[in-house]
A and B are shown apart, each in its own frame.
Chain A
Amino acid sequence: MKTNLYQKLPVYKPSDKVWQNIEKELDALQKVQSNVKYVYLWPLVAGFILVFFATLLFVNRQSEVAKNHQSLQITYSEEILDSVLVQKVQTDTVSDTEIENICEMQPVKCEDEYAKSLLKQIQDLSQAYLELDQSTAEQSIPDVTVQKQKAHLEKEKHKRIKKLKRYLNE
């Protein structure tokens, strides 16, 4: 169509209330947007912080439990080891008389420097054990640390006796 109707036809003007209504709607929309910010954003942030700290607490608690579990395991293993050690020492304990008997069989060897040194160490360890035993004799409940020390002394003494036996039998 050659005729430009767009420019020739009349133009209409909307009433002022159209803009007023648009403004009202835009105001309401902005209010909703800011409400969304305050009503939904803050609980979201608070929720996030709560979840974050809950996770942190949970992780800490887990590592605490793991640590406790580990330390409990260590104590438990130490206790087992100690009791095994004490039992072993008790069954393997060799009396001084027995040592004397051994030395009677090999009197020459028992007189050399190596055997004499071992005998000395055995006597010292026996002495230390006896002193410790006497000092704690009055305690009604045996001290775990003392028990451990005693077990250690017995173990060391036993090692040397074995060494001596092996040397004398060579």
Chain B
Amino acid sequence: MNISEETLIQGCVQQDRRYQKLLYERYCEAMFTVAVRLCNSYEDAEDALQEAFVEIFRNIQQFRKESTLGAWIKKIVVRSAIRKTRKDTKYTEYEIIHDITDDLDTYITQETDMEYLEKCILSLPEKCRQIFVLSEIEGYAHEEIAQMLNISIGTSKSQLHYAKQLLKQKLQIILKN
């Protein structure tokens, strides 16, 4: 069904269940995918998605169109997923070695098995995985990530660097084989 975003929003503001379902169906897969990568658990990701959408429907009248609806929804889902995984463990600061390139393109080629890459990403330690997902897959800037995760920009950068190093090691094994 080709319904405009504006109509969808208005229908949700009116608490019309048909429009709420349409909105959910339009965004659920993309949002669930982010949640899975952040939580590394289908169960937690489903819980996060559920909580996020309830929050979205309760607060949709507050959507000010400062960003796209998708971006607004994604931020709520990301926060919900992070809440699910938030533990008291501290982020470790890793030293960024500048002579080592952060570019993963050498390792990720057309032939790379994306399912395997996904497994590699999901096997990363939680904190650096979240930063990798938010930065390299979802496209958030370090400032936004720092704000969402309540960490410093430096920590965000060093954790991303660490994530990339770990990924390279994992991908190198495949290339060698």
Give min CB distance, B163 to chain A, whole Å. Answer: 12
**Chain B neighbourhood of A22, CB < 8 A:** 20, 24, 50, 53-54, 57
A1 in contact (CB, < 8 A): yes
CB within 8 Å for A6 and B139 given contacts A13-B32, A22-B53: yes
Instruction: Report which of B32, B50, B117, B139 forms a contact with A12, defined as CB distance below 8 A.
Output: B32
Interface of B is mostly: helix
CB neighbors of A among B115-137 (8 A): 115, 117-118, 121, 136-137
The residue of chain B having its C-beta at the shortest distance from the C-beta of A28 within the complex is: B54
B135 CB to nearest chain A CB (Å): 9
Q: Name the residue among B42, B50, B103, B117 with the largest chain A CB count within 10 angstroms.
A: B50
Per-position contact with B for A15-53: 1 when CB-CB < 8 Å, else 0? 101110111011001100000000000000000000000
> Across the interface, do A10 and B118 meet the contact criterion of CB distance under 8 Å?
yes
Is there a chain B Cβ closer than 8 Å to A108's Cβ? no
Q: Give 9 closest A-B pairs by Cβ, nearest first.
A: A14-B32, A12-B33, A25-B54, A5-B137, A12-B36, A3-B108, A11-B33, A22-B53, A21-B50
- Sample of 15 A–B contacts (CB below 8 Å): A3-B105, A5-B136, A9-B117, A9-B121, A10-B114, A11-B30, A12-B29, A12-B36, A13-B29, A14-B28, A14-B49, A19-B21, A22-B57, A25-B50, A26-B20
Chain B positions within 8 Å of A, measured between CB atoms, are 15, 17, 20-21, 24, 28-30, 32-33, 36, 42, 45-46, 49-50, 53-54, 57-58, 102-105, 108, 114-115, 117-118, 121, 136-139
